[in-house]
Amino acid sequence: MSAAAGFVCADGIVLSADADAASGVARWEPRRILVQARGAYLAAVSGCGNHDLIRMAADQLARDLDEDDDLEGLWRTSEKLVARLAKKYLFCYAEHDPERPQLKLLIAFRHETEGSLLLASDANRIARVDGCTFVGAGAELARATSSWLYEPSLPCAVVAPLAAQLLAWVRENVSGCGPAGRILSLEPGGAVELEPPSVPGADFFGGVHRLLQPILAGCVDGRLSDVEFDDRLRWFEESMSALRLALKRGEPLPQPPRRRLPQD
């Protein structure tokens, strides 16, 4: 109910959601990534807000989909769905009525021949997402942090673990998120879900924030000699090389040693 994200990748779409906002294929569990297979494409619905409305959106979308739809037709079907839900369940309330349900949807399609489409809705509007998008609790934190790691040219196999990192980071630092997360990739071979143990802990991406701190501080610290600054750059290079090797081997991410910065 609280947080979801979508990432456009070179070969598909990655969706992530908190544990209270994902669902497995053909099961209406209290999870919120709802998947449907139709002919040449896969469709997935996630989002934040009212759980019953997200479930209803997925159910109605499945009913409206046609096996012969292309991406443009899928977009039009999604627009009609969002407008219909807003008119019937949202706009019957005043804009600032505390009883008005909250609903923001992420709708993703992966077509065998036409590629991928990621849509994000707000009220009765829906728009295409060309990069990444975040809705619900921690959206601003996830958006800022993703700018360090994500780019649309990356494949799903790379973005899915990054999405897990982002979700773990947000859950650790923002109240209101679910206790665990789900990551789903709509890839050329089908829908692939990361197992919960693959979602890392709170130390974001092997402590990359601690890796950068001495470098950034050294840029503005006039007391630091060029030799000392070069030492920090070499330490950063070695740490990132160890991180890359661990990721390639599927090993736990190494934690960099803490460095003491000069004190006044």
pLDDT tens digits, one per residue of 145-179: 888 889 999 999 889 888 888 877 777 777 766 65
- Range of 93's domain? 3-198
Whether the CB-CB separation of 39 and 142 falls below 8 Å is answered with no
Classify residue 257 as exposed, middle or buried by CB count within 10 Å of its CB (0-12, 13-18, 19+). Answer: exposed
What's the mean per-residue pLDDT of the chain?
83
pLDDT tens by residue, 58-108: 999 999 998 889 999 999 999 999 999 999 999 989 888 888 898 999 999
What CATH number is given to the structural domain containing 181?
3.60.20.10
Look at residue 204 and tell me whether its pLDDT is greater than 80.
no
- My answer on whether 188 and 214 are in the same domain is no
Question: Are residues 66 and 142 located together in one domain of the fold?
Answer: yes
Nearest residue to 79 via CA among 9, 126, 43, 42 = 126
Query: Do 109 and 32 have their domain in common?
Result: yes
> What is the domain count for the chain?
2
* Of the residues 198, 226, 259, the one at which a domain ends: 198
72, part of any domain:
yes
Among 207, 203, 137, CA closest to 174: 137
Same-domain check for residues 126 and 155: yes
Q: How many CB atoms lie within 10 A of CB 149?
A: 17
pLDDT tens figures, 6-46: 999 999 999 998 755 444 433 334 456 888 888 889 999 99
Q: Are residues 192 and 216 in the same domain?
A: no
Q: Tokens 């999604």 correspond to what residue?
A: 78
